[in-house]
Amino acid sequence: MPTISVSHSDSGLILAEVKRTDRVSPHIIRVTLAGGDLGSFAYRGFDQWFRLALPVRTNDRLDNLPQRFGFGGLLKFLTLPKGTRPVIRNYTVRQFHEGTGELDIDFVVHGTEGVAGPWASTAQPGSPVALIDQGCGWSPVPAEKSLIVADESGMPAALGILRDMPREAVGDAIIEIFDERDKQDVEAPDGMDVRWVIRDPDAPPGSQALPTLRGLPLAESLYAFAVGESALATGTRRHLVNDLGIPKSNITFCGYWRVGKASPS
Ligand SMILES: Cc1cc2nc3c(=O)[nH]c(=O)nc-3n(C[C@H](O)[C@H](O)[C@H](O)COP(=O)(O)OP(=O)(O)OC[C@H]3O[C@@H](n4cnc5c(N)ncnc54)[C@H](O)[C@@H]3O)c2cc1C
């Protein structure tokens, strides 16, 4: 059971549109949103995430979506007429530019399957979207050290946390990607040891991060954050709890996607 938290801000349903797209590396497309209600977006940094609604069929509507996406909001969404209901996926704020009100999202390009990945590859300026803020999953408890483990889908979260965490933080970060060229600049505290590990593109996610994790001499007093493909997130937690005795309450983890399975909404 993932422990990532949901905390809705007052910004509610935000309508915006694509301003530009930029292939920042072979498998990452940065989509910049602007306009609409983005001026009222309550930016919190770290791994702030949101529900992103994409109108992928002609009659899909964004204007009648719920203001929040808790239980009530989900029910409201599910009772909307099927032919008008957009696709919803979860994404992370890669960067919010307070001055211009522009919001960057880094999409993993993962082929033709699914909706959001292929949408990002072909999105045009002016394409409408909607988003509902879900807050930050990063919720540290007092501990000597921090640990961050992520794959390419969690790279925006990992890089956002490293950028925004206290400069005196110490610990480790493992970011697993499948192509070295997708590496991005890191603004981490000096005390955070950031390791990029590259898995074979045909190997299962986690196949480099988990052995690397097992080789680390970790502190007993630890707060850990693990996100990415389900096996990476749960494998990290299992190792920390079962092998190292880290309390479950010191671990935030979330399967961001699952090999061979589409997102539920
Ligand atoms: C809180 C949170 C934040 C997230 N932030 C980001 C983010 O900033 N950037 C990002 O790229 N993703 C992010 N994700 C993951 C993203 O929501 C999923 O990858 C989602 O499944 C993509 O939707 P889709 O329509 O492209 O594919 P789906 O329709 O969900 O799936 C179709 C097929 O594609 C496969 N697939 C889905 N995602 C991937 C992937 N990343 N790599 C390879 N195969 C895949 C599935 O296994 C399935 O077989 C986040 C997820 C969560 C929960």
Ramachandran quadrant class, 171 (left: phi over 0; alpha: psi -120 to 50; beta: rest): left
Structure tokens at 107: 């999409």
The number of angstroms, rounded, from the C-alpha of 163 to the middle of its chain's C-alpha atoms is: 15
Closest C-alpha to ligand 1, atom 18: 257
Contact 24, 184 (CB under 8 A): yes
| Number of DSSP helices (H) and strands (E) in the chain, helices first | 5, 12
Structure tokens at 65: 């979506």
Report the run of H or E that residue 139 belongs to, with start and end: none
Three-state SS string across 9-70, please?
CCCCEEEEEEEEEEEEECCEEEEEEECCCHHHCCCCCCCCEEEEEECCCCCCCCCCCCCCCC
How far is residue 14's CA from residue 16's CA, in Å, rounded to a whole number? 6
Q: How far, in Å, CA of 251 to CA of 141, rounded?
A: 9
* Cα–Cα distance, 178 to 152 (Å, whole number): 8
For the whole prediction, is pTM greater than 0.85? yes
Report whether residue 75 contacts ligand 1, using a CB cutoff of 6 Å: no
Q: Residue 12 phi/psi, 5° resolution?
A: 60, -150
What is the three-class DSSP state of 99?
coil
Q: Tokens 């979260």 sit at which residue?
A: 157
Q: 24 alpha carbon to ligand 1 midpoint, in Å?
A: 18
Ligand 1 contact via 92 beta carbon (within 6 Å): yes
> Domains in the chain, please, with CATH?
13-135 (2.40.30.10), 145-257 (3.40.50.80)
**Best probe residue, ligand 1, of 33, 232, 257, 258 (max atoms within 8 Å of C-beta):** 257
Q: What is the chain's pLDDT, residue by residue, as a tens digit (265 residues)?
A: 567 777 777 788 999 999 999 999 999 999 999 998 899 999 999 999 999 999 988 899 998 898 888 888 888 898 998 889 999 999 999 999 998 999 999 999 999 999 999 999 999 999 999 999 999 999 999 999 999 999 999 999 999 999 999 999 999 999 999 999 999 999 999 999 999 999 999 999 999 999 999 999 988 899 999 999 999 999 999 999 999 999 999 999 999 999 999 998 6
Buried/exposed 232-246: b ≥16 CB within 10 Å, e otherwise? bbbbbbebbeeeeeb
